Amino acid sequence: MKNQNNPVLEILKKVKSGQISCENALTQLKISPFKDLGYANIDYHRSVRQGAPETVYGQSKTKEHIFGIVSDMSKKGIKNIIITRISPEKVSFLKRKKINLKYYPIANLAVVNQTKNTNKNGLVVVVSGGTSDIPVCEEAALTAETLGSKVERLYDVGVAGMHRLLHRAELFSKARAVIAVAGMEGALASVVGGFVSCPVIAVPTSVGYGASFGGIAALLSMLNSCANGVSVVNIDNGYGAGVIAHRINVR
């Protein structure tokens, strides 16, 4: 996996070019692992270990806390900071504070200091059972794209009309990983897992009528899939699926 925004590598490059002294570099390396803001400890070695910077979960944080976290990360020159589950009100606040972000309202996701990468890796296919699953799909797709994967979207091709899915068999044959997103009974993951050779990450969604129990029915169906190569993340966890698919894709 390629190192993205590796702070240790950047420090070493500055030493090599003479921009900073060895003593200065040593000081930066001592303090770089994390930053204590009082309400958050920002993990600045996340990109060294995992190839991508820390992601901010926005749903339960105050707008002031999100601002403090992404401001400090931005001062360190970190790009492509993902904020998940963020409300339009918090986005407006950050924009008023001059935070450079791109907001994706369908996914409730924002990317701070987003860079354009036209040379994306491999192929991840994100497929949904229905149109109602698209918000979770977009969280997964945008996560994988931001991390550096090429993503193709294939929406509303659930098992109620199998011909829609089989019509795109050629696309699936090129994928290194497939994210299958579905609510109701969650059968899509088993169907996809039955005719692709790459790993399938199944994402149950909370879409469905009463007996779907807010996604539990789809979760249990996916966990009990008889198709080989199907793994399952938590209900509505598009972000987690996007990270897993990206890591499979780039390896």
Three-state DSSP class for residue 223: helix
In degrees, rounded to 5, the angle at the alpha carbon of residue 75 between the alpha carbons of residues 20 and 73 is 120
Residue 83 Cα to chain centre, angstroms: 10
Give me the mean pLDDT over the 159-173 stretch.
Answer: 83
**Residues 39 and 66 sit within 8 Å (Cβ to Cβ):** no
Burial of 44 (0-12, 13-18, 19+ CB in 10 A): buried
For the stretch 220-244, pLDDT in tens is 999 999 999 999 999 999 999 999 9
In the structure, what pLDDT confidence band is assigned to residue 36 with cuts at 50, 70 and 90? confident
pLDDT tens sequence across 201-223? 999 999 999 999 999 999 999 99
- Alpha-carbon distance 88 to 85, whole Å? 10
Give the pLDDT band (50/70/90) at residue 1: very low
Averaged pLDDT, 11-36: 80
- Length of the chain counted residue by residue: 251
Q: What is the mean pLDDT of residues 18-23?
A: 89
Residue range 63-79: average pLDDT? 92
DSSP reduced 3-state for 86: coil
Q: Is the dihedral of CA 175, 110, 36, 31 positive or negative?
A: positive
What pLDDT, on the 0 to 100 scale, is given for residue 53? 85
Give the pLDDT band of residue 116 (cuts 50, 70, 90): confident
Where, residue-wise, is CATH 3.40.50.1970 in the chain? 121-250
- Return the pLDDT at 178: 97
Question: What is d(CA 238, CA 244) in angstroms, rounded to the nearest whole number?
Answer: 10
The CATH number of the structural domain formed by 121-250 is 3.40.50.1970
pLDDT tops 70 at residue 83: yes
- Partner residues linked to 104 by β-bridges: 109
- The predicted model scores a pTM of 0.85
Residue 5 has what pLDDT? Answer: 54
Q: What's the whole-number mean pLDDT along residues 14-20?
A: 90
More confident residue, 27 or 191: 191
d(CA 168, CA 128): 13
